[in-house]
Structure 1
Amino acid sequence: TLACRDLSQLGLFAKVDTVAFRLLKTHLPGPYTIILNATREVPRMLLHPKRRTIGLRVPAQPIAQALLAELGEPLMSVSLILPGESEPMSDPYEMRDALEHQVDLIIDGGYGGVEASTVISLVDGEPEVLRVGCGDPQPFMV
């Protein structure tokens, strides 16, 4: 998944038709991962190997938004689930204890939630809910 600062940046990496744009404009930023057909701007290693699709997010979280604005380019986004664990880490102090000697930077944004984003595919034109998470999928069902 690529985290983008806004819809204009998202549009560089995904093919967004008018219907999809209206849906995205209404519901992003927010707790959604949107699956779309990728443009040629997406590095091959980030694409789904058979479908040439990409997951994209526009997070509402202020620290993520500030990072994305400062960088001016998207960031690859993953949940922090360490080997042997089944849930993502959410405690910044535990993250620091476990990772401070393995990463360049840890930003303490407070405790995070463990519920994943809602994943919506807009690949075939019709919204398809692939995973229900913390975002309400109902507004995407047109």
Structure 2
Amino acid sequence: MARYFDVHPQDPQPRAIGQAVAMLREGGLVAYPTDSCYALGAQIGNREALDRIKSIRQLDDKHHFTLVCKDFAQLGQYVEVNNVVFRNIKAVTPGSYTFILPATKEVPRRLMHSKKKTIGVRIPDNPVVQALLEELGEPLLSSTLLLPGEEEPMTQGWEIKEALDNVVEAVIDSGECGTQPTTVIDYSSGEAVITRIGLGDPSRFE
């Protein structure tokens, strides 16, 4: 049965955040809110949780997983960023964007795109996620909580608790979350390619 954490959306309770992060460190899989929609999160090195995310969402090896980062310094450890890309990403973060970039050696190979050797990265503008990342001290391996056969992600923590009670260790609820995912910008070729228009304004990258 999943542990349920009801936290304040702007000032999340440190005790609840600490308990959720302890579960992540123990190998747990956590459903949590972001500035776009709910996501599934785990520690980067957790191979079992990666397989569980793939199973829950029925994903193949072509899926781009995302590393949710606290800030740009953390993001820069896991992806290769030139000066132009740096300026463009810096201008819109934190925010509802995911960027596909070449992965560094810090990223486990199993997390990379099987052929491109790329990884998604983002810096969310959400106090709950920022509190989780601050406590965890490293990025979260993440994937949008969009279940197979559904067109939109779940928006309510209690609904997620009911649906995933036996497949995740914790659900963090900070109120209703949106249904729009992030805007995805693919920089793997060196040029910006918009591969999904979501909550973030894509005009800077057109």
Question: TM-score of the superposition, structure 1-length normalised?
Answer: 0.92
Amino acid at match of 1:130: T
Amino acid at match of 1:38: A
Q: What corresponds to 2:130 in structure 1? A: 65
Question: TM-score of the superposition, structure 2-length normalised?
Answer: 0.65
1:21 aligns with 2:86: yes
Q: Any stretches of 5+ residues in structure 1 without a counterpart? A: none
How far off its partner does 1:124 sit?
2.3
Q: What corresponds to 1:82 in structure 2? A: 147
Change (3 A) 1:48 1:102: closer
Which has the higher mean CA deviation after the structures are superposed, 56-65 or 93-102? 93-102
C-alpha offsets along residues 3-24 of structure 1, whole Å, 9 cap, x if unaligned? 0111111111100111111111
Partners in 1 of 2:97 and 2:170 — Cα distance?
26
How does 1:1-142 map onto structure 2 within 5 Å? 1-141=66-206
RMSD: 1.3
Partners in 2 of 1:59 and 1:4 — Cα distance?
8
Partners in 1 of 2:113 and 2:184 — Cα distance?
15
How far off its partner does 1:127 sit?
1.1
**3-state DSSP of counterpart to 1:98:** helix
Higher strand share: 2
How far off its partner does 1:81 sit?
2.2
Number of residue pairs aligned between Structure 1 and Structure 2: 141
Q: Any stretches of 5+ residues in structure 2 without a counterpart? A: 1-65
Amino acid at match of 1:24: I
C-alpha offsets along residues 24-53 of structure 1, whole Å, 9 cap, x if unaligned? 111111000001011011111110111111
